[in-house]
């Protein structure tokens, strides 16, 4: 491959790449709101047509929810070349609160900063339309120069990632033989900082559960029954307080089974990234880590499991004041998993922990909200090393090997259902306002993201 010619074409045609991204950003493909079903379909067909223009055998596949876009290579792969599957999503988050946007969220614009740098502002600019288009534009440039891609690529773009991907498991089960490849590529993650590319090596798993504590058969007058009737808010608060000790340790029996410790080399790598508690927390107005004592902040978010209370409801929560003892109180709890923690075992142990603390005259019920194990990529995986070297060549600095505190369910499915490891490369920055008003994607990240993928595909 003439990589220099490919990179020059990317540079020379950047305005055209931005124009295509703007056309996609104009489509209000909000998957969580049925009012935008037609827009989601329009986005899927836009992408199908764009892939077809590149020579892919492209299709829009209907599901029980939003349609999937599939692009298949139009030539037989050589046996010595890895076949890769690229995944992205065309759906976006709702734009509320609309009054906090500086302009129409679906009228993309280039905004200049005082230093002359520019950013693309629109809903989906970063998550994930801008990111997925870095890959498509890289393929476009390669095809324009070389006439063929260096490795066979299948493309899968879904339309429900922002609403939990309800149709994806069934689709993967039905289409596994069509989309299985040697490896997957995902562009829905972040840079380490504005100058340093990153590859994510790990994802935490997730277990969600909801608790409902019931006492009396209705809300009670706190003057008439206060002091005599059991208050579910008190019961729930005590249970939640028991989940952690004073050092931040989670007290559910068996919670740390399968957690393990990062390798010394991994810890040394993280230490070298220079992340202090102040640097990590000050952008959100905090300064003191609240996790397990004796752990660095990167250990806390990349290699340690968590138990978080995401919401609590009980009694009167409207405006003003109402003196009631609620009949029911509830809480939403999420667990982030690492290592070999078993999601099913953790849920079982958690529920037993709660049941043991429910007093007489009260009952408890639960509602599950999904689960999935943690995932880690082998640091010796050859594709990982090639990808890291390609990114370093583009950005002029060593690629950071990072963990991710969150979860990307599709990556777990690729590993556990299709047997594929995933190269997770992204170009988002921490100030991109993902899921928030005035979402943006730096033009430099979009531009160099395209160049980066061209180098990665060449390296693979």
- Residue ranges of domains in the chain: 3-203+375-459, 206-259+305-372
pLDDT at 79: 65
Average pLDDT (302-310) is: 96
Average pLDDT (372-378) is: 90
The answer to whether residue 416 scores a pLDDT higher than 90 is no
Average pLDDT (165-194) is: 94
Average pLDDT (44-65) is: 97
Query: Both tokens of residue 117?
Result: 């740098």
Cα 420 to Cα 82: distance, rounded to the nearest angstrom: 12
Rounded to a whole number, what is the largest CA-CA distance in the chain?
83
- List all residues 6 or more positions away from 113 whose beta carbon is below 8 Å from its beta carbon: 119
Cα 197 to Cα 193: distance, rounded to the nearest angstrom: 7
Chain-wide mean pLDDT for the chain?
95
- The β-bridge partners of 121 are 109, 440
| Closest listed residue to residue 346, CA positions, set 312, 362, 370 | 370
Query: Both tokens of residue 6?
Result: 């490919």
Average pLDDT (216-228) is: 96
The answer to whether residue 77 scores a pLDDT higher than 60 is no
Contact 425, 199 (CB under 8 A): yes
Write the DSSP assignment of 299-351 as a string of letters.
HHHHTS-EEEEEEEEES--SSS---EE-SEEEEEEEEEE-TT--HHHHHHHHH
Task: Determine what percent of the chain is predicted with pLDDT higher than 90.
Answer: 91
Question: Fold identical between 3-203+375-459 and 206-259+305-372?
Answer: no
How far is CA 13 from each of CA 19, 116, 176, 270, 455, rounded to the nearest angstrom?
10, 20, 36, 37, 17
CATH 3.30.70.360 applies to domain 206-259+305-372: yes
CATH of domain 3-203+375-459: 3.40.630.10
């Amino acid at each position: 491959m003439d990589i220099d010619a490919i990179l020059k074409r990317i540079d020379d045609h950047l305005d055209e790449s931005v124009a295509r991204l703007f056309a996609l950003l104009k489509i209000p493909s909000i998957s969580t709101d049925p009012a935008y079903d037609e827009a989601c379909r329009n986005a899927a067909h836009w992408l199908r047509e764009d892939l077809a223009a590149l020579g892919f055998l492209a299709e829009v596949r209907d599901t029980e929810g939003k349609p999937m876009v599939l692009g298949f290579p139009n030539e037989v792969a050589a046996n010595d070349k890895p076949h890769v599957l690229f995944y992205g999503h065309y759906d976006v988050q709702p734009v509320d609160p609309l009054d906090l946007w500086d302009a129409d969220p679906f009228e993309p614009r280039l905004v200049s900063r005082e230093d002359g740098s520019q950013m693309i502002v629109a809903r989906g600019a970063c998550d994930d339309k801008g990111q997925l288009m870095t890959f498509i534009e890289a393929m476009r440039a390669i095809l324009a120069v070389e006439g063929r891609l260096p490795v066979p690529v299948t493309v899968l773009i879904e339309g429900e990632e922002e609403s939990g991907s309800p149709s994806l498991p069934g689709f993967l089960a039905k289409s596994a033989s069509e989309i299985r490849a040697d490896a997957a590529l995902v562009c829905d993650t972040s840079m380490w900082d504005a100058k340093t590319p990153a590859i994510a090596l790990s994802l935490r798993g997730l277990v969600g559960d909801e608790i409902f504590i019931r006492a009396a058969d209705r809300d009670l007058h706190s003057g008439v029954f206060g002091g005599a009737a059991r208050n579910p808010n008190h019961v729930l608060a005590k249970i939640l307080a028991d989940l952690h000790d004073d050092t931040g340790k989670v007290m559910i029996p068996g919670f740390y089974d399968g957690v393990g410790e990062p390798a010394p080399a991994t810890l040394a790598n993280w230490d070298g990234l220079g992340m202090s508690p102040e640097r990590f927390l000050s952008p959100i107005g905090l300064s003191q880590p609240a996790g397990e004592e004796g752990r660095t902040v990167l250990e806390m978010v990349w290699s340690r499991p968590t138990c978080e209370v995401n919401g609590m409801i009980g009694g009167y929560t409207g405006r003003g004041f109402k003196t009631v003892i609620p009949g029911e109180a509830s809480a939403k709890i999420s667990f982030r998993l690492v290592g070999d923690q078993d999601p099913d075992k953790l849920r079982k142990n958690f529920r037993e922990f709660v049941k043991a603390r429910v007093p007489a005259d009260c009952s408890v019920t639960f509602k599950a909200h999904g689960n999935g194990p943690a995932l880690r990529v082998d640091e010796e995986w050859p594709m990982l090393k090639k990808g890291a070297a390609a990114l370093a060549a583009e950005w002029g600095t060593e690629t950071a090997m990072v963990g991710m505190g969150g979860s990307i369910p599709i990556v777990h499915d690729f590993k556990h259902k299709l047997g594929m490891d995933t190269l997770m490369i992204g170009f988002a920055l921490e100030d991109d306002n993902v899921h928030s008003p005035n979402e943006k994607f730096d033009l430099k990240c979009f531009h160099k993201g395209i160049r980066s993928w061209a180098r990665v595909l060449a390296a693979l």
